[in-house]
Amino acid sequence: MTSLPSTSPVPVYDRIKAMATTFRLRPGERVNELELARQLGVSRTPVREALNRIAAEGFLVATPNRGYTVRPLDARQLMALYEYRATVELGVVRLVCARASDQALADLAASVAGSRDEIDTDAQALDLLWRDEAFHERLAGLAGNPEFVRSVRSINERIRFPRWIDLKARRSQTRNDHPDIVRALQARDVAAVQALMSQHIDKHLDHVVELTRAGYAEIYMGNALADYAESRLLEAGAAPAAS
């Protein structure tokens, strides 16, 4: 198992959040605050503050006088998250049809044109996943309501691990739906774009139980997603700040 070094410039919150998002901290595991502080090379105070935030975001379960345990990875919770995602994103595309400018939609179309569908490696599956998350957050921004952006980002983070498992397991079946969605938005066809978005989200629901099982296997047999995510954090932390 790899982990970010104690000298990492990445904030403590981001480092622990990555562990929780990718299940480096395993489902149902009790979080040892003192051990986590030692591992990260920091005092307990920033760790405690980070754990409070991360619990509020739904990645940890807080129990009075007992601390924190990691959220479960189970089919029922995944179904609830996908149901929530569908409700939010159907509202997003309805508002985008009504509010987004033609230029904003043209820019969105240009950003998805020619994107690569094929996935040959696990790392490419992760890259595709992060591009997909960025697309949906950008789309939410075009709805003109910052609450949608926050909701979509939160959902993306909470389903990131099972979605990566899904993508890497079904490489040959992966298809980029984004160009079709953008074309329907440009036509201001609310019914069409909502149907496309529903299909885009619902195609994962048929095998939620299998995703859960595969997720546990990944967690206990290497968890490459955690390695990739930590590498990205290190790269971001080492990059010079934009002037």
Report whether 109 contacts 179 (CB < 8 A).
yes
Give residue 243's pLDDT.
31
CA distance 34 to 45: 10
CA distance 210 to 208: 5
Give residue 118's pLDDT.
64
Q: Which residues of the chain have pLDDT under 70?
A: 1-9, 114-120, 171-175, 233-243
Coil, strand, or helix at residue 32?
coil
The phi-psi region of residue 23 (left if phi > 0; otherwise alpha if psi is between -120 and 50; otherwise beta) is left
Coil, strand, or helix at residue 119?
coil
CATH 1.20.120.530 fits 75-213, yes or no: yes
Give residue 238's pLDDT.
44
Residue 30 is given by DSSP the state B
Q: Which CATH class is domain 12-72?
A: mainly alpha
First-to-last alpha carbon distance for the chain, in angstroms, is: 35
CA distance 236 to 232: 6
Entry pTM: 0.83
Where do the domains of the chain lie?
A: 12-72, 75-213
Report whether 198 contacts 93 (CB < 8 A).
no
Cα torsion through 54, 60, 63, 67, rounded to 10: -70
Give residue 1's pLDDT.
43
CA distance 158 to 180: 26
Give residue 7's pLDDT.
47
Give residue 165's pLDDT.
86
Q: Which two tokens stand for residue 132?
A: 């997909």
